[in-house]
Amino acid sequence: MPFIGELSALGTAFCWSGSSMAFTAASERIGSLQLNINRMILGVFFLLSTILIMDLNYSVSSYQFNFLVASGFVGFVIGDSFLFQSFRMIGARVGMLMMSLVPAISTILAYFFLHEVINYWGILGIIITLSGIALVILQKNPGVASKYKLSKPGIFFGFMGAFGQAAGMVLAKFAFQESHINGFVATFIRLASAVIIFLPLVALARKYKNPFKVYKKDIKALGFTITGTIFGPFLGVTSSLIAIANTKIGIASTIMATVPVIMLPLVRLIYKEKLTWQSVIGAFLAVGGVSILFLR
């Protein structure tokens, strides 16, 4: 199928747009750390069930397994931890802007470690897409005072979050290069390894609560968590792996970085938010950049 990688990346962006809205609602009820662990555990359950029911081939070489474990650790544990910390210090708006560095970082890493080269049209598409994303994220909100302040630690955490995401994608690409791996299987290995590493750490620090007790008190939080998990760690991450397996990392990560733009009509429809001219222009720029990537 032509453009399977690009279409999977675009599907990932839509999945992550939906999951971010569900996770936002859930985090307001149970907290971000509790949500992060719970969504990974649920994701592992969904993926394992899919693998067993569909009788998927889950055989991978030790080489592939090691790179997928490393990818899960770097992406889910290190990358997401830094990302959430940056959100807490500098806010989601600037934190998301820092995450738009993922395409540039992943392209540089892929150039040095995977010997991937993007032509001039690809570079132009990336620049235009990132410009549109930046315009949307950096727009001012007149009359709204922000409780977040720019700080060097916050910017550093944001950069490390972006670096963790990019490095995780490159490590996963190594696994796919050796031979074909089913996307669900690859995601299961990445997610399960992240849970095995992350859960004991937060449990020892006594930062994690019994999920049964948490959700017994708030059924709506469970619904939001399940919805976000299906569109995030389950379908979203799986389609992102299919994307990087079938197209260059820089292109895949750039298309996936259009989440803030895709969310514009969603927040207008669901939350009745008024869209500014910056939002509209940014959306057109991002779509134009993605179109150039498709036609490269």
What pLDDT sits at residue 143?
43
- The CB-side HSE value for 8 (13 A sphere, CA atoms) comes to 23
**Counting beta carbons within 10 angstroms of the beta carbon of residue 157, is it exposed (0 to 12), middle (13 to 18) or buried (19 or more)?**
buried
- Interatomic CA distance for residues 249 and 256, integer angstroms: 10
Give the pLDDT confidence of 45-58 residue by residue, as tens digits. Answer: 998 998 999 888 88
- Interatomic CA distance for residues 132 and 140, integer angstroms: 15
Residue found under tokens 């260059």: 248
Pull the structure tokens for residue 42: 């649920």
Pull the structure tokens for residue 113: 């470690």
What pLDDT sits at residue 141?
57
Amino acid at 12: T
How far is C-alpha 137 from the chain's CA centre?
16
How far from each other are the two terminal CA atoms of the chain, in whole angstroms?
Answer: 17
What proportions of the chain, in percent to the nearest 5, are helix, strand and coil? Answer: 80, 0, 20
Give the residue ranges of the chain where pLDDT is below 50.
142-145
Give the pLDDT confidence of 120-136 residue by residue, as tens digits. Answer: 887 888 888 888 878 87
- Interatomic CA distance for residues 199 and 128, integer angstroms: 39
Collapsing DSSP to helix, strand or coil, 210 comes out as coil
What pLDDT sits at residue 25?
80
What pLDDT sits at residue 113?
86
